[in-house]
Amino acid sequence: MVHRLLSERLIAPLSVPSAEPQRSTLIEAWKEILLKEEYGTPLPPPDTLFFDEKEPEKQDRNFCAGFALRYQVIACGTLCGRSFSFPFTVVLPKTEGKHPFFVCNNFQAELPNKYAPVEELIERGFGLLHVCYKDVTSDDGDFTNGIAGCLYPDGIRPTKDAPGKLAMWAWANMRLMDYALTLSCLDGAKGTVIGHSRLGKTALLTGLLDDRFAAIASNNAGCSGDALTRGKEGEHISNITTNFPYWFCENYKKYTDHSRLTFDQHLLLAALAPRLVMIGAAEEDIWADPNAQFLSCVAASAAWESYGVKGFVSPDRLPTAGDDFREGALCYHLRTGAHYLSRRDWNIYMDILSEKL
C-alpha cells in the first residue's frame, strides 16, 4: 500500500549503491541539490571562536533540587571578519560518568520552558545545551542583525543560493557542539540535535551539515523538513515562500509550484544515513501532515539499508495515533494531540537514544 502511495506522489524508490565511493558520490549529489536549491550554501566556519563562561559564583549549583549544574555561556568570535556573540545555557547532571546530551535550538531562552522539560532530562542522565534561536538572528526578513549581519552587513543576500535563517540557526547548533566537545562530563559520541517545527527543519539541516551529531530528532518539522512535498496536505512551499521567504535561499521560490520539484524531502532524511534519525508527528497536526512525514521515512529507508543497517521498519499501511516505529535506525512516532514538542515526545526520544546509542 505505502509504495503505491509513493508512486502516486511520483516518488521513485531510492537506488543507493552499497559500495564506496559510489554511495558517497550519490549522497553528496543529494546534499548539493538540497543546499543549492532549498537551504542555501553552508555558512563558513568562524574565523575565531571562544566561549565566555560565567564566573563559578554565578553558576546555579542547586538547579533541579541540586541534581544539576546550570550556567550561561556566551559564544564569541568573528565570522567573515565581523564580530558575533550569542548566549546559550548549559545544564549538566551531577552524577559521575560521561553523559549523552542534547543540543536544542528553542523558541524560549529561559529554562525550564514548555518545550524543554529539563528535570526529566537530568533524571534520565542527559545533558542539555540550549539556545534561543532569536538570540542568534531574528526570525524575520532583517538580515542585518546577529549572525546574518556578519554575512550580509548591508542586509542584502548577494546570490540566489545565499543561505537564509535556517542555515544560521543550524550554524549556531554546530557552535554548541564545539563547546560540548570541550566538556569531559559529556560523551561526544552521543550528541543529539533536536528541534520542533521550523527548528525541527533546522535540526535536520544541522545533521546534514555536521556529522558529529550521532542522532537527529525532528519534531513536527513538516513541509520543507521531514515531510514529502508531493501530495502533501496542509502547508506547502507556496505558504513558506510567501510568509517565511527568509528561512530558505532565494532559489527555493522556483518551487512555489511544487510540480516543478526535481527533489523531495526524503533525500534530506536519506543523506543522514546511517545515523539515528527520529521523526515525531502529531495526529492533529495536519499542517505538517503526519502521513507525508511517514511516507518520507518509507522513501528514505533504502539509504540505511545500503550501509547494511535497518532503516525504517513499519507495517504496510498509513500510521495511526499511538504508532511508535523504532526497530530500525530511522524511527517515527505518531502521538495524539496537536503541533507541540511535548514531554511524551521527549520521553520517546530519550527511550530510543538509551536503547540505540
| Catalytic sites, residue numbers | 197, 339
Apex 67 CA angle, 65 and 68, nearest 5: 105
Beta bridge partners of 191: 101
* Residue 128 in grid coordinates: 542539555
Three cell numbers written together for 270: 536519506
Q: How far apart are CA 136 and CA 195, in angstroms?
A: 15
Core vs surface per residue 257-291: b (16+ CB within 10 A) or e = eeeebeebbbbbbbbbbbbbbbbbbbbebebbbbb
CA distance 13 to 7: 9
DSSP strand pairing (60-62 vs 82-93): unpaired
What is the distance between the alpha carbons of residues 13 and 312, in angstroms, rounded to a whole number?
13
d(CA 182, CA 188): 9
If residue 324 lies in a helix (H) or strand (E), which one and from where to where? Answer: strand 324-325
Using an 8 Å Cβ cutoff, are 122 and 60 in contact?
Answer: no
Bridging pattern class, strands 215-219 and 60-62: unpaired
Question: Around Cβ 344, how many Cβ atoms within 10 Å?
Answer: 15
